[in-house]
Amino acid sequence: MEPKIREAKPEDKPFIEEIARLTWGGEDYLARVFDEWVEDGNFYVLELEGKVIGTVKLTFLPGKVGWLEGLRVHPDYRGRGYGKLLHDFILWKGEELVEEGKIEALEFATYFLNRESIEMARGSGFIVKARFFAAGARVGDFEPEEPTMIEPTMEDLTLGLIPVGWRFVKRSEETLEWIRKNAELYDYNGLRFIGPKDGTTFTPLDPGPAVLRALLPAMAWVAKERDKEQFDLMLLSAIKPVLPGFKRAGIWIWDGSEEPNVLVFRKKLV
């Protein structure tokens, strides 16, 4: 039987939970966002012989961007070309959405060790738009202190490309409205950081190591409130010269990378 790609349905959830359980040591977020993604639409599954073995999601971001995320293949079915099948499908879907005037480009972010995704992206015309460092810290290494959640303004959006978890949005008035719906902005002693609602991947809105060091207790507080023992950071590639200072502050760069380990790709369609 040939595999088929179709819209995800609520009854697919057990399959998605299984894929998530077998991905990233069980830390995959896919099961947590399943209901939201089904409601949002443009969430697709790859079905083979009645079993869902893969997923992919296209999310509309500001600036007529179609954001590619959630591309997964069940571990038992990897290495058979199903990832490329999903990748090619979403490229075709992107072209369709261009004709409808809904998007002008496709973008996605991936970890630097995800060589298969990087190879597929470059082979289909994506280029690297930006690079970031993914890092982590332990809540227990800090004395958590409560920050204040505030309503963001354009003045708060100090970065040209703003990480909101593992999505990246370009600074604009449209982005400001999107952030108000999808992110949370915190103030701590006049310093600010941003993160997705309910998530624990944070970005300081000033990239300096001294600012980050001052914000860590507040980030730890948010993570603790969400019952997490650690939290993650998405940091500008410009921090590379001061990496030792970050490490002394109790932050580790994922896989000990000395180079940016998150790549943001873009393929312009018009």
Q: What is the pTM of this model?
A: 0.94
Confidence of residue 270 (pLDDT cuts 50, 70, 90): confident
Confidence of residue 187 (pLDDT cuts 50, 70, 90): very high
- What pLDDT score was predicted for residue 128? 98
- What pLDDT score was predicted for residue 242? 87
- What pLDDT score was predicted for residue 27? 81
For the chain, how many residues are written? 270
Cβ-based burial of 48 (10 A; exposed 0-12, middle 13-18, buried ≥19): middle
- Sequence-ordered alpha helix ranges (H) in the chain: 13-21, 30-40, 82-99, 115-123, 173-182, 209-225, 243-248
Select 4-103's CATH number: 3.40.190.80, 3.40.630.30, 3.40.640.10, 3.10.180.10: 3.40.630.30
Beta strands in 40-104 (DSSP E): 43-48, 51-61, 65-73
| Chain segment 106-138, per-residue pLDDT in tens | 999 999 999 999 999 999 999 999 999 999 999
Mean pLDDT (whole number) for 69-83: 94
Let me know: does 27 contact 228? Beta carbons within 8 Å.
no
DSSP secondary-structure letter at 112?
Answer: T
Mean pLDDT (whole number) for 171-184: 97
- What pLDDT score was predicted for residue 25? 83
The region, left, alpha or beta by phi > 0 then psi within -120 to 50, assigned to residue 42 is: left
| Chain segment 217-257, per-residue pLDDT in tens | 999 999 999 999 999 999 999 989 988 888 888 899 999 99
- What pLDDT score was predicted for residue 192? 96
Can 4-103 and 131-263 be said to share one CATH topology? yes
The structural domains of the chain, with segments of one domain joined by +, span: 4-103, 131-263
Let me know: does 166 contact 261? Beta carbons within 8 Å.
no
Q: What percent of the chain has pLDDT over 90?
A: 88
Bridge partner residues of 164 (DSSP) = 167
Task: Compute the distance between CA of residue 139 and CA of residue 231 in angstroms, rounded to an integer.
Answer: 7
Cβ-based burial of 13 (10 A; exposed 0-12, middle 13-18, buried ≥19): middle
- What pLDDT score was predicted for residue 233? 97
Mean pLDDT (whole number) for 12-37: 92
In one letter, which amino acid is 216? L
Q: What is the CATH T-level fold of the domain 131-263, as seen in this structure?
A: Aminopeptidase (3.40.630)
